[in-house]
Amino acid sequence: DTIINEPKRVFRDDHLGGEGVDKSIRKLKDLRGIFKDERAFENMDPETLVYEVISYLPVKEGTQGGVYFGVTSIFPGSVGGEYFMTKGHFHAMIDRTEFYWGIKGEGVLILMDEQRRVWAEKMFPGSFHYIPGRVAHRVANTGKELLSFAASWPSDAGHNYEEIARNGFAKRLIDINGVASLI
């Protein structure tokens, strides 16, 4: 009727409360094997928070025609010079696409196709990214503050983490003398 409702909010701490909301956190101990420098990894506190994802999932996973929304926040840091980053994945339904956009902080979106060709795009507040189907995606925080970005993807996309857990990305984002380098 005449009532104007409060909208959902999409920033960290107070965003997306209520039904259908999922919060997941990833600590260093959840990311074993993704960073190159295993010695540096073992010397860090396994409880270190690396990133969190707050997702709004209004329909059941696998629903055709639905859409999901999530905000990922990656803390600043690195493991032996390799920036804190997400696990990265192909979608389980591999042709499913996705949008990412930068909200806060600085980072790099790393993309890899099925032929293992890698390319990357800078992320910053207002940056906009279209991730085509059949392309794995991972984000690294290259800045000194929190990196937050939003994502929207189809509710039937799913996640295939195994491929990346097994073979990684063909390139890594490393701090070389203060410069983020894809090598």
Burial of 54 (0-12, 13-18, 19+ CB in 10 A): buried
CB 81 within 8 A of CB 175: yes
Least distance (Å) from ligand F6R to the CB of residue 31? 9
Assign 13 to helix, strand or coil.
coil
Least distance (Å) from Zn ion to the CB of residue 142? 20
The residues that touch ligand F6R, with contacts defined as CB under 6 A, are 53, 70, 72, 86-89, 98, 137, 151, 153, 157, 159
Least distance (Å) from ligand F6R to the CB of residue 169? 11
What are the phi and psi torsion angles at 158 (to 5°)? 65, 180
Quote the distance between the C-alpha of residue 104 and its chain's center: 14
When the beta carbons of 86 and 142 are compared against ligand F6R, the nearer one is 86
Burial of 51 (0-12, 13-18, 19+ CB in 10 A): buried
Choices 21-29, 67-75, 90-98, 118-126; region in contact with Zn ion by CB under 5 A: 90-98
Site track 91-130 with Zn ion (rule: CB under 5 A), x = hit = -------x--------------------------------
When the beta carbons of 105 and 154 are compared against Zn ion, the nearer one is 154
